[in-house]
Structure 1
Amino acid sequence: MSRTRTRARWRIGLTATALLLASSALPAGPANADDVTDYAIKVSPKAKGAKIDDTMYGVFFEDINRAADGGLYAELVQNRSFEYSTADNRTYTPLTSWAVDGTAQVVNDDGRLNARNRNYLSLGAGSAVTNAGYNTGVRVEKGKTYDFSVWARAESRTTLTVTLKDAGGTLAEARKVAVKGGWAKYKARFTATRTSSNGRLAVASSGAAALDEVSLFPRDTYKGHKNGLRKDLAQKIAALKPGFVRFPGGCLVNTGSMQDYSESSNWERKRSFQWKDTVGPVEQRATNANFWGYNQSYGLGYYEYFQFSEDIGAMPLPVVPALVTGCGQDKATDDDALLKRHIQDTLDLIEFANGPVTSKWGKVRAKMGHPKSFHLTTLEVGNEENLPNEFFARFQQFRTAIAAKYPKIKVISNSGPDDAGSTFDTAWKLNRDAKVDMVDEHYYNSPQWFLQNNDRYDSYDRNGPKVFLGEYASWGNAFKNALAEAAFMTGLERNADVVKLASYAPLLANEDYVQWSPDMIWFNNHASWGSANYAMQKLFMTNVGDRVVPSTATGTPSLTGPISGAVGLSTWATTAAYDDVKVTAEDGTTLFSDDFSGDASQWKHTGGGSWSVQDGQYVQTDVAAENTMVSAGDPAWHDYTLKAKATKKSGKEGFLIAFGVKDTGNYYWWNLGGWNNTTSAVEQAVDGGKSTLISKAGTIETGRTYDVEVKVEGRQVTLLLDGKEWGSFTDDKPAEPFRQVVTKDAKTGDLIVKVVNAQSVAARTAIDLGGAKVRSKARVTTLAAEPNAVNTETATPVAPVKSTFSGVAKKFSYTFPANSVTFLRIKKK
């Protein structure tokens, strides 16, 4: 998961073709063969397209947005082992989510349960503690069974009274547990007498007692596994029929300390995700400070990930740290002994997954309940490292060691956190030269970018490393976002000989604990629902086909009008000063000039921050403010040159020079010293969602004044820094709203014609099947909705509609509804 800083609200505009159609008010659905067509699709059934692997589409799970504890992991008690800490989250204490009636104290001493479960609760005689669960409380359903357990000790015989209740009274008959002696596990069973989402679990003690690992688990987990998964969430993931499961991250993998407990006398709360912390009995597993700002129990660990992958018929694809941190931390360890230990840990992971029960780690797996191999074939080393040379030097050591002991295991590398730029280019060169098996690409961009880049993989080297698109999404969960992603996915399938694996990200989000959006599946403590993106992914993932059938379609011409807009200045977590801003037209006429010898009345403040004129400069002084945009000029300006002087005063980054500014969500800016002053790039914002057009590594010096120049000529932009050309680009790719791909199902012989119409009018289309002998009736699945439609807990406006179409022939016409994705499954004769 990459850390980025945009959220998008996007409106799909009409193309030139769409504008011609707009007045005709076309009906959705099939059209007569004699109708005038506006698009044409030609299929070549005798040509041989790319083979599509069964693992083409999968899912990526990361513990973000409370995806694990309080989410997929079915445990109902929050902070069950009293390990929350201000080191994890400044609002936390060891009693977070607990209420005390009487006397209770969280203790960390030699009397602890074990070395990795440090804290326990010392509960006074006649006292009680009550847990609030997640969201609004502990969720129970009438008639369902729930298993309570606790590790406890008491010097003299003590009775624990355990109750489930809410504001309306009891939710199940109370249970009593007799405790005496040293640490032992005690159990009880509840059957809920009422349904409630606001329950509380209370434990009262008649005498002094110590408690740890207080747990309440639904008996009805996915596949009935103990320490298992929340059923409705697991079922929604399984319904996607994913070919693989990538886990556990993401930024969790390569952030924080790489040390283990045994390597430090001090308990490292913020560690990278290390698989050995997450296996064995749950009460002996580590806890960790989640990168995303909360505590994670590791109850959902590597064994459970492997088990879930097996349950849903998906290839397990674990990710291990390469000892180069990412996600804005950007450090590489030089500790050779630590590197060797992590390499050995990776070899041990393979043994844990595949080794015989006689091996050290195979025995651990067998003891946990799975003597058979998990059939691990592929793993990934590293995630989004922004130091490509440092990462690759360490990656090669992992790769060499794995190849020596397990030559059949495929090892995936990566290309950094962005879809382009110096890190991306360097990483790809290193990967190509070393002939790695596969390279993981990640990007989160605007819907427009996805509509513009359907051809991204058309030009990739067919003989080079394959692509794993491990994380991608457009910025939003509205149907227009799903449409843009669907258009892009047709390009993924067309290039299935290059793109071997792909997964939308992130997978899960608890609506009350969101660090990141968009997300595929949303939930609270009592319900879950698939987003519009989920509906789209499910449609593609359950109708993949086995081979691409080559096809072509008419499209939209390149953009021809000039880039137009006003100009702007901004900062991001930085203070900066600007001076001598001047805009000149193509003929040399001055359109705008400000040397700030007076006031700043020509500038419109549209962002945050604190701007003022100081000593003849325009200065932004709030070092914490993000996107402090001020703009000036006419949105109709085009073909101009913008010059300015810029000086960084303090802070994390550099400065931002905007051009083509239409409004607060639509503009271009030259981001100099962005990404914690590591990279400079030109980004385009469309309705708030940003995409990178060009980027290079580089830093901005504090206190140095830079001469910045932006030349806008038609749709060509040239950028100069201190009089030298920094870069240039041409923004003329259309956001193509009409995309298609055709695949064939080897088992049924079906041709699957997949068409995306991401515009506000219907698309009358002539389809030529190239002489294929087919039946006249096709099964049709359509997703169609308003562009801004969003699925919620109570409403599902984006849902598939199934129908039949009886007009199929070697050549026929079909009208694809506005804002729709349509799959036609056409049977052979």
Structure 2
Amino acid sequence: MLKALHPKFFRFPGGCFVEGQNSPDNAFRWERTIGPIEQRPGHWNVNWGYRTTDGIGFDEYLQLAEDLGAKPLYVVNVGIWHGGFTPVDSIQPWIDETLNALEYANGDATTKYGALRAKNGHPAPYNIEYIEIGNENNQDDPTQQSDNYYKRFKLFRDAILAKYPNMHIIGNVMAWGTDDPKWKSAESVELLDEHYYRNPSWFARNFNKYSNYPRGTHGIYVGEYAVTQGFGINGSLNAALGEAVFMMGMENNSDVVKMASYAPIFANLNDLRWRPDMIQFNHKQAFGTPSYYVQKLMADNIGTRILKVNQHNPYAATIEQNTIAPQKSSIGFATWAAQSSFELKEINGKPVNITFTPKKGQWQQTDNIYTQNSNEEECQNIGNITVGNNATIKMRARKNSGAEGFVLVFNYVDENNYCWLNLGGWGNTQHGIEQIINGDKMQIAAKNGKIETGRWYDITLQQNGDSLKAWLDNELLFETKLIPNTTQGLFTTATLDETTGKVIVKIANTSSEATTCSINLNGYNVHTANATRLTAPKATDENSIEHPTRVYPVTETLSPVNDKLELHVPAYSLNIVTLNR
């Protein structure tokens, strides 16, 4: 299934797996992963919670890239792991380790490590051309695996280019906390690796993200991207369509976006550690998510020149974005791996006296204070009150013990539809507002911060329709808006394959309504045409091991007339139309 995607390159070994956790010994150390498999020490993969034999080691990754016909892209450790780092003035051993790895991959058999590669069964060089210096190691917060990144980058870059002057060097930018990461250094860099894990609506709204990106300085490599909020269970059609729109935007701006890679690829259904993944398997079967088929359709239909598209949006006048916040809902308290106390002070300036219904956890009431005494996750206590979506809620809360802080639940309709203000979440490292729609959770705002144990905090949430403001004590934490899980509309791109004269038109319909599309090529006469569609009755439809082709591409022959083609565009669909002279 991976080979069927015809990947142009293969990024390895990750990801957080590159960095490791707790100690440098837990990082990916390439030299420990080569040679006879039974002699490799292996290591505990703390980042993802299982032991790895390193049976798939540095050599196997290179061999896999070669077997796939893909260029290997090696990600190196810059002396940083989750929870610690080697001081920047002491990282020469890490640089040496990288140069040794490159000699193993690229050196001839007369070099020390090239000879070792030949001994291990591959006399010819593997020829690494792309190398990424670090993984997500350039956050503004230096405590987030980001110590002195630009200094580290320069030392690695200069050492690598001194020996391999034609190497393509990739740098890190902020990987979370912003939608607009920047390279904040005068150091030259060829490509920047941007990572985006968002909801379907974010990807569709960012169709034109790179249209106004500055040209002439560096290129972009979107090294990790996927819908990880609002994707269903295994990965829905809706998620795949959001990604398709984003990919179409990247293709339209391929003078800036040079490379992109979906992440992650594989998941063992018997031991899931991340969702979603585009190829999922058990001991005897495998299936692709709708995102897999989007990746395949996009990769199989690439032209050589971008064509300008003038599109009339049929939904512009008929689809209005309704208020997301429910007209009537309830509020409540919640904890996640923590024990905390809460007191509701007032709603809209007036004291309230209401009862609460525990949904999960060990809740007890003393006067007006509600305390949760379990370290379970997602313990909720929902008030028996109706609140509109124009309200100001004031409460106070205290963390008594545990790993995280406390949560204010609002817009509560049922267990699958609500929002919450999460204070001291994510291991007591961040505050955030999350939105749950039909059971799918997505983060709409986040900020670094923590909650102290034993201290009472004043919390204010002000809501005006979809607009939200939240204060912790007197600090305004968030001023944001609720967002839809989907962005409805029609998105179109077109390319020309100059070698064959074929025109490829991509049409993504993220709306719940079908439409008819008239493709007018202005004098470019077409003799034959076909359309390959990825669609399903519902946007939430997905594949599974039991139903692997519920969302699957189907091709049909079309009947063009001179330079025009009428096309039915189903709701929730990606349509790849090829037109041949």
Give TM-score scaled by structure 1 length. Answer: 0.63
- In the alignment, structure 1 residue 698 sits paired with structure 2 residue 449: yes
For these two proteins, the number of residue pairs brought into alignment is 560
Moved more, 648-657 or 728-737: 728-737
**Counterpart selection for 1:542 from 300, 313, 328:** 300
Q: CA deviation at 1:392?
A: 4.3
Matched, 1:450 2:209: no
Instruction: Check if 1:687 corresponds to 2:444.
Output: no
TM-superposed deviation, 1:237? 0.9
Structure 2 residue runs of 5 or longer lacking an equivalent are 138-143
| 1:283 lines up with 2:38 in the alignment | yes
| Structure 1 runs not aligned, ≥5 long | 1-235, 261-270, 595-600
Percent identity over the alignment is 36
Which structure is larger by alpha-carbon Rg, 1 or 2?
1
Structure 1 residues 731 and 365 mapped into 2: Cα distance closer, same or farther (>3 Å)?
same
Counterpart residue number, 1:566: 330
Question: Would the alpha carbon gap of residues 521 and 649 (structure 1) be closer, same or farther in structure 2, given more than 3 Å must change?
Answer: same
| Matched position secondary structure for 1:239 | helix
* Structure 1 residues 722 and 636: CA distance shift in structure 2, 3 A: closer
Q: Which residue identity is paired with 1:632? A: G
**Which residue number in structure 2 is paired with residue 333 of structure 1?**
86
2:531–2:576 contact (8 Å) kept in structure 1: yes
Aligned residues: CA RMSD? 2.7
CA contact (8 A) 1:353 1:374 kept: yes
Contact 2:288/2:548 (8 A) holds in 1: no
Pick from 575, 580, 589: which aligns with 2:339? 575
The 1:431–1:238 alpha-carbon spacing in structure 2 relative to 1, beyond 3 Å, is farther
Q: Name the CA distance, whole Å, in 1 between partners of 2:63 and 2:69.
A: 10
1:523 is matched with 281
Residue identity matched to 2:101: L
Structure 2 counterparts to residues 13-52 of structure 1, below 5 A: none
Q: Who is 1:240 aligned against?
A: 5
* 1:648–1:332 Cα change, 3 Å: farther
The answer to whether the Cα contact below 8 Å between 1:446 and 1:689 also exists between their aligned partners in 2 is no
Answer yes or no: is the 8 Å Cα contact 1:448–1:735 preserved in 2: yes
Equivalent residues of 1:258, 1:323 under 8 A apart: no
Structure 1 partner of 2:504: 752
Would the aligned equivalents of 1:413 and 1:431 in 2 still touch at CA under 8 Å?
A: no
Which residue of 1 is the match for residue 363 of structure 2? 611
SS in 2 for 1:444: strand
**Alpha carbons 1:403, 1:409 under 8 Å: kept:** yes
**What's the CA shift for 1:357?**
1.6
Spell out, residue by residue over 1:204-228, the C-alpha distance to the aligned partner (whole angstroms, 9 max, x if none): xxxxxxxxxxxxxxxxxxxxxxxxx
What is residue 141 of structure 2 aligned with on the other side?
Answer: none
The residue number in structure 2 matching 1:352 is 104
The Cα offsets for residues 530-569 of structure 1, whole Å up to 9 and x where unpaired, read as 2332222111111122232232432546735373343332
The amino acid across from 2:63 in the alignment is Q
Q: Distance in 2 between matches of 1:667 and 1:461?
A: 39
1:466 to 210, 216, 219: 219
| Residue number in structure 2 paired with 1:816 | 569
The DSSP-based 3-state class of the residue aligned with 1:490 is helix
1:312 CA displacement:
1.7
Contact 2:336/2:378 (<8 A) preserved: yes
Question: 1:575–1:620: 8 Å Cα contact kept in structure 2?
Answer: yes
C-alpha distance 721-737 of structure 1, shift in aligned 2 (>3 A): same
Q: CA deviation at 1:796?
A: 1.9
Q: 1:824 to 1:408 in 2, by over 3 A?
A: same
Residues 277-330 of structure 1: CA deviation (Å, up to 9, x unaligned): 11123233221223333332222211121122122221101112223224xxx4
In the TM superposition, what are the counterparts of 1:394-413 in structure 2 within 5 Å?
394-413=152-171
Aligned to 1:722: 473
What residue is the counterpart of 1:778 in the other structure?
A: 529
From 394, 405, 418, the equivalent of 1:643 is: 394
Secondary structure, counterpart of 2:470 in structure 1: strand
After superposition, give the CA deviation of every residue in 1:154-187 in whole Å (9 maximum; x if it has no partner): xxxxxxxxxxxxxxxxxxxxxxxxxxxxxxxxxx
Q: Deviations over 1:556-597 (max 9, x none)?
A: 46735373343332222222211134221xxx6x4x724xxx
Instruction: Give the superposition deviation at 1:752.
Output: 0.9
Partner of 1:250: 15
What is the rounded CA distance, in whole Å, between the counterparts of 1:822 and 1:559 in structure 2? 24
The answer to whether the 8 Å contact 1:432/1:465 transfers is no
| Counterpart Cα distance in 2 of 1:448 and 1:280 | 46
1:740 aligned to 483, 492, 501, which one? 492
SS at match of 1:306: helix
User: Conserved in 2, the CA contact under 8 Å of 1:532 and 1:791?
Assistant: no
**For residues 464-487 of structure 1, what are the alpha-carbon distances to aligned partners after superposition, in whole Å with 9 as ceiling and x for unaligned?**
543322222223423333233223
Matched residue SS, 1:741:
strand
The 1-side partners of 2:4 and 2:564 are apart by 34
2:10–2:72: 8 Å Cα contact kept in structure 1?
yes
Distance 1:530 1:683 in 2: 28
Within-5 A mapping of 1:350-429: 350-385=102-137, 386-418=144-176, 420-421=177-178, 428-429=181-182
Higher RCO, 1 or 2 (CA under 8 Å, sep at least 6)? 1
